[in-house]
Structure 1
């Protein structure tokens, strides 16, 4: 059957929606590969790769799945850009699952539009789509689980899906989503809302959902066991990030603006508008299903900024993810809208390509600083890898199995240092916020050790006085600058110190 002119986002796509969706997924996957090859590792990625060097049941900041995946990827690719490839391929799978889910709910071309909009969004193009972050596995398994249940809730004519298979597969997927990120619980809570609000509540009288819940608990058990052994420190850390600081309208405004920017304004406006319009169409169970999955995550993390005083705009994104099928359905139903959906598709895709390749090129070359932009104002500087440290520290005796321990002063600087030299030497962190480093540091093993402190010059200036009691002797700092293309962009210090007394503040020293 030939597609109508208004159905396809681009005339060159195949007439079959599945093939068209595959073509879009392939095209955006190639774009992500180019983006990944150009851009260095960000602060969070560097820290994650450092933590992933050592396998554990779970970790301080997040559940373990993306770290396990990073560990396996490093075994194949080392710490080159290619370590991102499994995450890129995982999001290609997520895009296909979104197509399959949208096709079941609304139709094939609706699924194609949803895939296009998702992949053209800045956040989904870059963060879960390319980077080594927990959101990639989270979205893959949430989408797979919801697609399995959608087949049960909304079967096509002639289908007789098995409740046992659907709920067991969903439980497995939700368990692995929980192994990816704690916020999976909000999307699963949305599923519960959908069940209670519709005749699908009848499934609660069937044993299959409870079998699926047991499978989910078994899947997430490594996180439970690790937290029990570590006084629930990971859950307490994440819960504490939403602590109350009083009414803060400025933080709420920043949260709204941040989501607007992260999604990309040309995606955010139609996505939010169409989601709001669907509030009047919740009698349609398909739309209620998606809105129930989306709403808890979006509302909680957005409103949380009102009392917490801060929040990160990527936290609500798993909720927005489930609004994309609604956007796809609207695009097919309104081909004559103004502005034209087809013009929107062309501009959105072009901007995604230009921004991905442009940001990647700026990050690879440091062009902004070459043009006179101060380093502190260069948003790509966080993606600058400190690889120049490796030969510098090697010249000072840092090598596998010998030489001093390398010490950072903050978790984020420690991540950058670890990425550069962590396979050649132990990297530890001293300071009030070591994050995951606190759970891999064997303090007794380094008692009395000689170390090389590596820090940004500003960090050293702030913490120098507090470090005096942690060493027998602290030497004179050696100053150096490193940057892209041989240009100095960041100022570091290397400080020799002898007689390590403590790697952590008193509150952690007993570990």
Structure 2
């Protein structure tokens, strides 16, 4: 391979990044979300309080065999590989549509499809946030390849004279799996419908395959509706409240957009600019419909961000935008914009490498205990084991924490002991372990990164709490956090607990 082709460079780049992901995956413990969704697999159900069940179901085979974080993280790594491969494939399909090989469009000459695919691949690789989802399994890790799969089917529908029955079945399965991965998959469904509506001469609503796809999707997502029906629709109620957030403020929208650019990289923004700059007058409606795979979810999340949102929610949308970005960057590269593109790529890759270094090192050396975001990744296995030992030694009912984010790691690493969250907010822990019984004695786990005063007082909380032991977490000699373990006796209720 003296002169590797663009497709070869894409494969080489993907393999290098995959090796880095694998090395990181075996280097530290579960994050709060990873532990939470791993517990899904240990408590199999038709659905769960905060998300549909696929994120738990897909982990069950591995978790039934091992508790090794690195092995379990092979799942998100495989999903990342599928996602990046789909980005490359979709870029080739989109390139053919724009070049008019199957649709008769006339447009400006583009660089080769593999060149555009390479640029799309590099844009994804250089984006910082997707690396987090490639190591830790979140519902968005699942929704990303499923959204890309639906986008690929939309492109095929545009290019084919008629969708086959097999195509409709694949579409229905992808829709159902997307619904099982995350509730925001409904935005991808809207984008798919917009593609169907963009081509007025193609009949689809009167095709048996279309209705078969809808039936398949409904059957696949029926466990979610059944579980919510049995549990008073608590998941839907929670998601509506969670999505609405707090009081809406325009400054939060501006902050959301700035955070998005930082998380996914200015290279993507530059690629979109160069793509849209071409005009695409001859097939604007088709491209706008395909762009809805990005703009529909991104616009909704941006609007919701006025009340609060999380940056990784838009990951499937950015991956669906990557093929357009790749074409825009390849066109700009051919127009002598190489210095700008290569500079942005190098800067973003450098930032990713610095981030990887901080993860392995346990955070910046100057960070204090509460300001170090990497401290959250270390020490929980030892803390869980210590809490379990103290619970057995003191005949405690279980382990207690005062925030659900502390409970996920405690429940994973101290299993099978029950973990009770001492607040008045309903969550998944209430469904798994129930309420802490009155009069119970527990080991209260407190972490320096999110510390609380033990809940004792007149008439509510515990009668008393006595510190039993403490545990320090260090990484390369740097103190990251401390864990305190207290024996709290005679639980009298949560009326005054906050």
TM bucket, shorter chain: 0.7 to 0.9
Of residues 372, 396, 406, the one that matches 2:399 is 406
Counterpart residue number, 1:330: 328
Return closer, same or farther for 1:344/1:278 CA change in 2, 3 Å cut-off: closer
What corresponds to 1:482 in structure 2? 472
SS at match of 2:487: strand
**Alignment equivalent of 2:144, drawn from 139, 143, 152:** 139
Aligned to 1:497: 488
| Change over 3 Å in CA distance of 1:275–1:71 after alignment to 2 | farther
Q: What is the alpha-carbon distance in structure 2 between the residues aligned to residue 244 and residue 43 of structure 1?
A: 20
Q: Is 2:439–2:490's contact at 8 Å kept on the other side of the alignment?
A: yes
The equivalent of 2:126 in structure 1 is 120
CA contact (8 A) 1:481 1:488 kept: no
SS of aligned partner of 1:251 = helix
Return the offset for 1:50. Answer: 3.2
Contact 1:302 1:316 in 2 (8 A): no
Report the 3-state secondary structure (helix = DSSP H, G, I; strand = E; otherwise coil) of the residue aligned with 1:242.
helix
Q: 1:96 to 1:391 in 2, by over 3 A?
A: closer
> Using the alignment, how far apart are the partners of 1:487 and 1:299 within structure 2?
42
Give the TM-score, by structure 1 length.
0.84
Deviation, structure 1 residue 479: 5.5
Q: Counterparts of 1:26-425 in structure 2 under 5 Å?
A: 26-106=15-95, 107-127=113-133, 129-155=134-160, 162-199=163-200, 202-243=203-244, 247-265=248-266, 267-274=267-274, 277=277, 281=281, 283-284=283-284, 286-306=286-306, 308=307, 310-340=308-338, 344-345=341-342, 348=345, 351-352=348-349, 354-366=350-362, 368=364, 371-398=365-392, 404-423=397-416, 425=417
Name the CA shift for 1:71/1:408 in 2 (closer, same or farther; >3 Å).
farther
Does the 8 A contact of 2:333 with 2:341 survive in 1?
A: no
2:459 touches 2:492 (CA, 8 Å); kept in 1?
A: no
Query: Does the C-alpha gap of structure 1 residues 275 and 483 become closer, same or farther in structure 2, counting only changes over 3 Å?
Result: farther
Contact 2:271 2:329 in 1 (8 A): no
Alpha carbons 1:43, 1:415 under 8 Å: kept: yes
Distance change in 2, residues 1:298/1:351 (3 Å): closer
Match of 1:469 among 457, 460, 481: 460
In structure 2, the CA distance between the partners of 1:118 and 1:182, relative to structure 1 (3 Å rule), is same
On the 8 A contact 1:275/1:291 being kept in 2, the answer is: no
- Structure 2 unaligned regions, length at least 5: 96-112
Secondary structure of the equivalent of 1:492?
strand
CA RMSD of aligned residues (A): 3.0
Unmatched segments (≥5 aa) in structure 1: 1-10
Closer/same/farther in 2, CA of residues 290 and 214 from structure 1, 3 Å limit? same
Question: Which position in structure 2 is the counterpart of 1:3?
Answer: none
Is contact 2:143-2:178 (8 Å) kept? yes
- 8 Å CA contact retained: 2:466, 2:487: yes
Comparing 461-470 with 489-498, greater Cα deviation is found at 461-470
Q: Tell me if structure 2 keeps the 8 A contact 1:448–1:499.
A: yes
In 2, are the aligned partners of 1:151 and 1:161 still within 8 Å (CA)?
no
Give 1:490 shift.
2.3
Structure 2 counterpart SS, 1:483 = strand
Q: Aligned to 2:14, what secondary structure does the other structure show? A: helix
CA displacement at 1:179 relative to structure 2:
0.7
Compared CA separation, residues 188 and 257, structure 1 to 2 (3 A): same
- Measured after TM superposition, the shift of residue 30 of structure 1 is 1.5
Q: TM-score by structure 2 length?
A: 0.86
For 1:227 and 1:373, locate their aligned partners in 2 and report how far apart those are by CA, in whole Å.
Answer: 43
